[in-house]
Each structure stands twice: as structure tokens, then as C-alpha cells.
């Protein structure tokens, strides 16, 4: 099971407080300082920025490594995910964990440690942090919870203490109360099921569970990440600095942020503005409602800021503002696969009738336009189309059935590509209606998807596809197969017309706004 929060492993932790105070924190400083440079492999020198090494550390110590064989701890997870650097399990009770030599303490590790994960109870973190300072560990990911987010005086005191130790000692602190780093390139991960594929999207997230959701939502549409960091209480590393780093990251084209609050609003605003000169920024600001803000304050101790201030902020920038991770995934897919959107005029290809009327309403409500085709387009469509009663206007109804749809994609889309009245092609495959409950459904829908991929290569207008599955096993499977075929070919797929229209509208606004900045 994937540990969905900082509470996942606490009950299995193997450190005993008495042991820790007696044995763990013997500082051996000299050797580590000598070996400092060796701790970072050449592979990490991507941007010549200090934070590079947070995503590409040459070695990782897991302080509080689980000796359990029945559950997947941090060591097992890194091994399974293929992390190629050195892993040092720290656990005084055993000599071996997951086939690796276990050390009784951080100082006992003979080699340099680039990155440490603290999987120990909160009250033991200060001493562990001192040891990491002494060992010249550059990055400490404090997985442990039990700090400011508890709302207690002791929690706040502990967080202030570890932050000061880290700051004084030159250690960068990720967290506390967070899942840390996922970087498929270096094979660091906090989810054992995360994809190993390397993408060009970065995520800065204050929530670990929402980060996981986004990673899986994107995987469903073959969209992958360069770097993800979940930084929880943000005692040290916070969104502005991470964004500044990713702005110049050569591995990243698009940046998404899940934010509950930031400590330095001015720096954040500036970072967003700087980033937008180079890359799109998608922001999910959580805790914008009254009780949402209270919950966020409890979750990561974020000072969420007033709704008015955030509304002003989000309007001031060209960042794309979103409300849910599902929407973030949709926008990321659109940004990644539609390189430029220069118009809001949509041609809808799919079912006509009431489905076309509703799709038109949804698009126009979202700020798009669904104009009639030119008379030339209409004439050309007449040439290839003979079904009685079908709609040749926009929304356009292909011949019925999946074979009819596939046939129309090949013959009709090149005509619609030439239409002077529309600039985007939105295709509703409507598997739940006219393909449902028939033998050979997966094959037929897949064939239509392949036909679409084949013709899409020669179509100049952006194409987006809506694939709604409904709840039947056969339509779900058919949609999953088609979604995989289409997204692998780089065609964005949305789960409904609402999601597609909302995303297109926001992406169009973004490109228009960026254009105005120039």
C-alpha cells in the first residue's frame, strides 16, 4: 500500500528513544567534509543550481528504515523503483535491511550522504537533524509529522527548532510532514506505483495525496513528470524558491502548483511572473473558502491568505488558475499537446441531435464559440455524406456507428481542417451511446482511434477528443483502450465535454494573455 501521508509508517517505526539518545548522534565530521563533492554524481549537473542535487542525489540515507519484510518502506520503495545511487538504511536493531547493510546511525555510515529521509518520531528529529548537519548532508526530507500542523505549542516549538538547526548548519529542509521528491530520471519516488516514464512537467505540491492523484491522473493519459516535490509545512523550502528553480530547469516545460499558502507573497508573485516569461504555470490554490482556509491551516499550517488577495494575485498574472486536480490534469494535457491556441472557434464532430446541442451550450458557456461551418465546408461534407437526417452543420454528425465514425475521420476531418469558420476540432466519440453493449466494441473503438491518429498527423488544427465511458465494463474497457491509443499519439483526451471546453477556454485565455505580455 502506498503511504498516503506522513502517518503511514509511524506505527511501524523501529527506533527506540533510549537507543537514540545513547548511540545515534556521534558526530564524525572530518571525513564527510572531505568527501563532500564526491557525494554528488555528474548526472546531477543539469542546471548548475544547488537544488539540482535535491532531485539527483548520489546517495540517500533512510533514518528509521523499516526492517519489516511485509510492508513497503522507504528502502524497499527506492530499490524497487530503481534508484541507482547508494542507499544507507539506518536502523540500530538490525545489520541488514532489504539486502543492504544497515548502519546503527548516520555518523556510522562510512561514506558521504547526499540526502536523508527522516522516518522517525517528531521528538527525535532535532537530534537527527544535528547529526545530518555534522555529516554535511545537504538535503533532509522530514517525512515525519507531528510539528506545527498539530496546532500544539510543542509542535510549533519542535518545528522552529529543527528549522534553525538546518538553517544554521547549511542543510536544506524539505517539510516536515511531507512525502518529498519524485523524480523518474533519478528514480527517486514516494509512491511505489508511480510511473518510471520521464516527462517534462513539474509539480510543486503542498499535499502529498493530491500530488499522487495528479501523477496517476496524468499517467492515465500517458502524461509524465520531470520533477515532483511535496514540501508539506514548508518550514524551509517553499513554493517561491522551488518555482524559481524550475523556471530555469532544462528538464521542465510546464509547472503546476498545489498551494495552501506561501510565506513570502511578494517573492511568489515575482517568481510566477518570471516563470510565465518562459513556461506556463498552472496553480491550484486550495483553502480559498472560509472553512477550506481553516482546514488548510490545520493541514500544513499554511497562512492561506484572504480570498480577495488571492483573487487579485491570480488575476494579476497569466497563470492558469484551477479548482481541482482533475482540472489541473486536463490543463496540463492541453498545454503539453496543444502547442498554441489562437482562437476559441470550435468545430464539434461527434453525435449531433441533443448531444450536439448540449455540447454547443457547454462550449459557449465556457467562453468558446461554435459557429456554423462555411458554405464551402457544407458543400464538401455533402459530397462524402449521405445518411438521411444526419447533421452536416456544426456540430457535425459522422455516419453512425464506430465504423461510420472511423470512415468520417479519414474523409471528413481534412474538410473540416479547411473550414474558415472554425479553428479547433473537438471530437466526441460517444462510446457510451452508439457503441455501447455490442460485440467487438473494443476492437471497433480502437480501430476508430487508430483512424483518428492516422489522419491527425496531416490535420493542422488542434484536435481534442472527448471519451466518456459510463459505468459498463465493456464501454469502460473500450474507452481505456482508445484513450491509450490516442494519448500515446499525442492527442489530448478528456473525460467529458465540460472538462474539454473548460480546459480549452483557459488555455486560450493563457495564450492570449501571454501574447499581450509581449
Give, as ranges, the residues between 346 and 375 that touch a second copy (CB under 8 A): 351-358, 360-362, 364-365, 369-372
Q: Among residues 73 and 107, whose Cβ is nearest to a second copy?
A: 73
Phi-psi region of 203 (alpha: psi -120 to 50; beta: other; left: phi over 0): beta
Q: What is d(CA 414, CA 123) in angstroms, rounded to the nearest whole number?
A: 66
Q: Among residues 27 and 480, whose Cβ is nearest to a second copy?
A: 480
Number of neighbouring beta carbons within 10 Å of residue 368: 22
Q: Identify residues 319-338 at the interface with a second copy (CB under 8 A).
A: 323-326
Report residue 180: phi and psi, to 5°.
85, -135
Q: Identify residues 392-411 at the interface with a second copy (CB under 8 A).
A: 393-395, 400-401
Q: Among residues 133 and 243, whose Cβ is nearest to a second copy?
A: 243
State yes or no: residue 472 binds a second copy (CB under 8 A).
yes
Q: Among residues 278 and 472, whose Cβ is nearest to a second copy?
A: 472
State yes or no: residue 104 binds a second copy (CB under 8 A).
no
Q: Among residues 32 and 419, whose Cβ is nearest to a second copy?
A: 419
State yes or no: residue 82 binds a second copy (CB under 8 A).
no
Q: Which residue pairs, CB below 8 angstroms and at least 24 apart, start in 247-250? A: 247/271, 247/274, 247/275, 247/278, 247/279, 248/47, 248/49, 248/278, 249/46, 249/47, 249/49, 249/202, 250/46, 250/47
Q: Among residues 35 and 219, whose Cβ is nearest to a second copy?
A: 219
Per-residue x/- track, 117-156, a second copy (CB under 8 A): ----------------------------xx--xx------
Q: Identify residues 478-507 at the interface with a second copy (CB under 8 A).
A: 480, 483, 496-498
- β-sheet bridge partners, residue 63: 90, 118
Q: Report the sign of the C-alpha dihedral through residues 368, 369, 374, 379, in that order.
A: positive
Which residue among 162, 181, 276, 288 contacts a second copy (CB under 8 A)?
288
Alpha-helical regions (H) of 61-192: 74-81, 125-134, 153-169
- 341 class by beta-carbon count within 10 Å (0-12 exposed, 13-18 middle, 19+ buried): buried
> Where do we find the cell 496543444?
338
CB 332 to a second copy: min, Å: 15
CB 473 to a second copy: min, Å: 7
CB 438 to a second copy: min, Å: 5
Q: Are 391 and 352 in contact (CB under 8 A)?
A: yes
CB 138 to a second copy: min, Å: 26
Q: Check whether the bond before 395 is cis (ω within 30° of 0).
A: yes
CB 18 to a second copy: min, Å: 20
State yes or no: residue 389 binds a second copy (CB under 8 A).
yes
State yes or no: residue 428 binds a second copy (CB under 8 A).
no
Which residue among 314, 391, 447, 489 contacts a second copy (CB under 8 A)?
391
CB 292 to a second copy: min, Å: 4
Q: Identify residues 208-247 at the interface with a second copy (CB under 8 A).
A: 208-210, 212-213, 216-217, 219-221
Q: Among residues 166 and 217, whose Cβ is nearest to a second copy?
A: 217
Compute CA distances 407 → 314, 398, 449, 491, whole Å. Answer: 44, 8, 11, 18
Q: Identify residues 429-458 at the interface with a second copy (CB under 8 A).
A: 430, 432-438
State yes or no: residue 471 binds a second copy (CB under 8 A).
yes
Q: What is d(CA 82, CA 110) in angstroms, rounded to the nearest whole number?
A: 23
Q: What is d(CA 299, CA 488) in angstroms, rounded to the nearest whole number?
A: 37
The stretch near a second copy (CB under 8 A) out of 17-25, 43-51, 295-303, 330-338 is 295-303
Of 391, 459, 382, nearest in space to 423 by CA = 459
State yes or no: residue 68 binds a second copy (CB under 8 A).
no
Of 229, 316, 308, 300, nearest in space to 266 by CA = 316
- 270 class by beta-carbon count within 10 Å (0-12 exposed, 13-18 middle, 19+ buried): middle
Q: Among residues 453 and 481, whose Cβ is nearest to a second copy?
A: 481
CB 178 to a second copy: min, Å: 10
Per-residue x/- track, 175-194, a second copy (CB under 8 A): --x---------------x-
Record the cell numbers describing residue 213, joined without a space: 492523484
Q: Are 359 and 395 in contact (CB under 8 A)?
A: yes
> Where do we find the cell 509542535?
155
CB 86 to a second copy: min, Å: 27
Q: Among residues 137 and 256, whose Cβ is nearest to a second copy?
A: 256
State yes or no: residue 166 binds a second copy (CB under 8 A).
no
Which residue among 79, 476, 489, 514 contacts a second copy (CB under 8 A)?
476
Which residue among 86, 241, 260, 419 contacts a second copy (CB under 8 A)?
260
Q: What is d(CA 512, CA 342) in angstroms, rounded to the nearest whole number?
A: 7
Which residues contact residue 243 at a Cβ distance below 8 angstroms, ignoring those fewer than 6 apart?
204, 255, 257, 268, 271, 272, 275, 281
**Size, binding site for a second copy by CB under 8 A:** 94
Q: What is d(CA 211, CA 232) in angstroms, rounded to the nearest whole number?
A: 11
State yes or no: residue 19 binds a second copy (CB under 8 A).
no
Amino acid at each position: 500500500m502506498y503511504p498516503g501521508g506522513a502517518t503511514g509508517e509511524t506505527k511501524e517505526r523501529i527506533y527506540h528513544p533510549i537507543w537514540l539518545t545513547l548511540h545515534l548522534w556521534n558526530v564524525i565530521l572530518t571525513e564527510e567534509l572531505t568527501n563532500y563533492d564526491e557525494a554528488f554524481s555528474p548526472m546531477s549537473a543539469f542546471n548548475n543550481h544547488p537544488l539540482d542535487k535535491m532531485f539527483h542525489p548520489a546517495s540517500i540515507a533512510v533514518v528509521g528504515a523499516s526492517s519489516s519484510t511485509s510492508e513497503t518502506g522507504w528502502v524497499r520503495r527506492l530499490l524497487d523503483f530503481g534508484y541507482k545511487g547508494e542507499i544507507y538504511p539506518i536502523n540500530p536493531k538490525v545489520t541488514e535491511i532489504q539486502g543492504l547493510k544497515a548502519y546503527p546511525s548516520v555518523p556510522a555510515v562510512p561514506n558521504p550522504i547526499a540526502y536523508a529521509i527522516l522516518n522517525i518520531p517528531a521528538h527525535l528529529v532535532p537530534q537527527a537533524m544535528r547529526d545530518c548537519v555534522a555529516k554535511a548532508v545537504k538535503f533532509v526530507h522530514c517525512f515525519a509529522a507531528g510539528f506545527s500542523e498539530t496546532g500544539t505549542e510543542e509542535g510549533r516549538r519542535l518545528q522552529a527548532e529543527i528549522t534553525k538547526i538546518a538553517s544554521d548548519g547549511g542543510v536544506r529542509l524539505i517539510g516536515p510532514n511531507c512525502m518529498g521528491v519524485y523524480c523518474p530520471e533519478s528514480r527517486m519516488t514516494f509512491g511505489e506505483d508511480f510511473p518510471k516514464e520521464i516527462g517534462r512537467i513539474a509539480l510543486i505540491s503542498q499535499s502529498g495525496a493530491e500530488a499522487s492523484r495528479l501523477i496517476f491522473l496524468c499517467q492515465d493519459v500517458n502524461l509524465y513528470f520531470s520533477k515532483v516535490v511535496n514540501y508539506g509545512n514548508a518550514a524551509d523550502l517553499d513554493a517561491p524558491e522551488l518555482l524559481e528553480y524550475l523556471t530555469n530547469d532544462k528538464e521542465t516545460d510546464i509547472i503546476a502548483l498545489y498551494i495552501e499558502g506561501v510565506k513570502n507573497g511578494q517573492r511568489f508573485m515575482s517568481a510566477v511572473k518570471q516563470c510565465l516569461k518562459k513556461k506556463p504555470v498552472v496553480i491550484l490554490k486550495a483553502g480559498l473558502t472560509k472553512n477550506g482556509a481553516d482546514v488548510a491551516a490545520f493541514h500544513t499550517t499554511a497562512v492561506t491568505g484572504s480570498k480577495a488577495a488571492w483573487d487579485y494575485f491570480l488575476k494579476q498574472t497569466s497563470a492558469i488558475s484551477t479548482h481541482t486536480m482533475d482540472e489541473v490534469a486536463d490543463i496540463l494535457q492541453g498545454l503539453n499537446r496543444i502547442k498554441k491556441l489562437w482562437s476559441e472557434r470550435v468545430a464539434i464532430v461527434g453525435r449531433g441531435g441533443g448531444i450536439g446541442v448540449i455540447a454547443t451550450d457547454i462550449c459557449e458557456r465556457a467562453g468558446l464559440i461554435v459557429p456554423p461551418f462555411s458554405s464551402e465546408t457544407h458543400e464538401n461534407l455533402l459530397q462524402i455524406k449521405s445518411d438521411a437526417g444526419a447533421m452536416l452543420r456544426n456540430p457535425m454528425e459522422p455516419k453512425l456507428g464506430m465504423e461510420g465514425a472511423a470512415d468520417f475521420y479519414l474523409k471528413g476531418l481534412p474538410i473540416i481542417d479547411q473550414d474558415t469558420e472554425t479553428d479547433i476540432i473537438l471530437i466526441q466519440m460517444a462510446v457510451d451511446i452508439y457503441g455501447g453493449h455490442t460485440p467487438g466494441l473494443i476492437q471497433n473503438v480502437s480501430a476508430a482511434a487508430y483512424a483518428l491518429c492516422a489522419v491527425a498527423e496531416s490535420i493542422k488544427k488542434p484536435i481534442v477528443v472527448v471519451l466518456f465511458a459510463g459505468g459498463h465494463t465493456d464501454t469502460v474497457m473500450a474507452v481505456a483502450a482508445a484513450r491509450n491509443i490516442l494519448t500515446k499519439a499525442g492527442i489530448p483526451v478528456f473525460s467529458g465535454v465540460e472538462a474539454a471546453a473548460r480546459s480549452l477556454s483557459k488555455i486560450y485565455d493563457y495564450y492570449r494573455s501571454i501574447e499581450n505580455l509581449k
